[in-house]
Amino acid sequence: MTGHRLDNKLAVVTGASRGIGRHIARALCAAGANVAITGRRRASLEAAARELGPGCAPYVCDQRDPEAVSAMAAGVIRDLGVPDILVNNAGLFRGGPVVEMTLDDWNEVIETNLTGVFLTTRAFLPGMLQRQRGDIFVISSMSGKKGDPGAAAYAASKFGLQGFAQSLLYEVRKSNIRVMVLNPSSVDTGEDSGRNEGAGLHLHAADLAEMIVHLATLPGRTLFRDMDVWGTNP
């Protein structure tokens, strides 16, 4: 971890029981932040919280469910306060040709990857607006820039995130709230506790996590709005 510090900051990371989200939560904790993590599966979420230590608190939430998101946000604010940092990371992939895709699969992707980000952001935004400060990160994908065969639902959700984040930025930037979109290429998530040295020059989840810590420590006058993130050997 670099020397960037987030002491006394509160972060919320969605989809943090494993993969990219767990790495992001780990990096934020290592930088001194208190971190609330969310996920659908209680056992894996609580296991992640135990691994990340006393500065991490788990909140079970299916972000497709408006009532569950409202209850989660209310619990975080009641227990910990209004977050300084919100990382919208939770997402899923359902692939296959459009002609074979079921409506259930389509809806699950859109509701998780796009509607869930809207619901979660909306739940925490009033507190950030009242405080006149905050950082909102959206973990998108290169699929939000370019469609691929067999990934119509996923690409549609990620293209939607681009429009959502750009519009939101114009609404809140005068309130000192930054909205930053990261578009990683394929990511080696691993499940180890740090950077996977065997991954060579491929992008690793720990690298993406360190980027978020760095961006969150930049002066408030600095904004990176939309970033494509590649490994040097994609």
pLDDT tens for 8-66 read 999 999 999 999 999 999 999 999 999 999 999 999 999 999 999 999 999 999 999 99
Question: Which residues are annotated as catalytic?
Answer: 154
Residues 6+ apart with CB under 8 A from 107: none
- Euclidean distance between CA atoms 145 and 99, whole angstroms: 22
pLDDT digits (tens, 9 = 90+) for 147-187: 888 899 999 999 999 999 999 999 999 999 999 999 888 78
Give this prediction's pTM: 0.91
CA 132 to the chain's CA centroid? 21
| Topology at the third CATH level for domain 10-229 | Rossmann fold (3.40.50)
Mean predicted confidence (pLDDT) in 78-94: 96
- Euclidean distance between CA atoms 99 and 201, whole angstroms: 37
Alpha-carbon separation of residue 5 from 1, 8, 37, 180 (angstroms): 10, 9, 19, 19
- Euclidean distance between CA atoms 112 and 217, whole angstroms: 28
- Euclidean distance between CA atoms 65 and 152, whole angstroms: 23
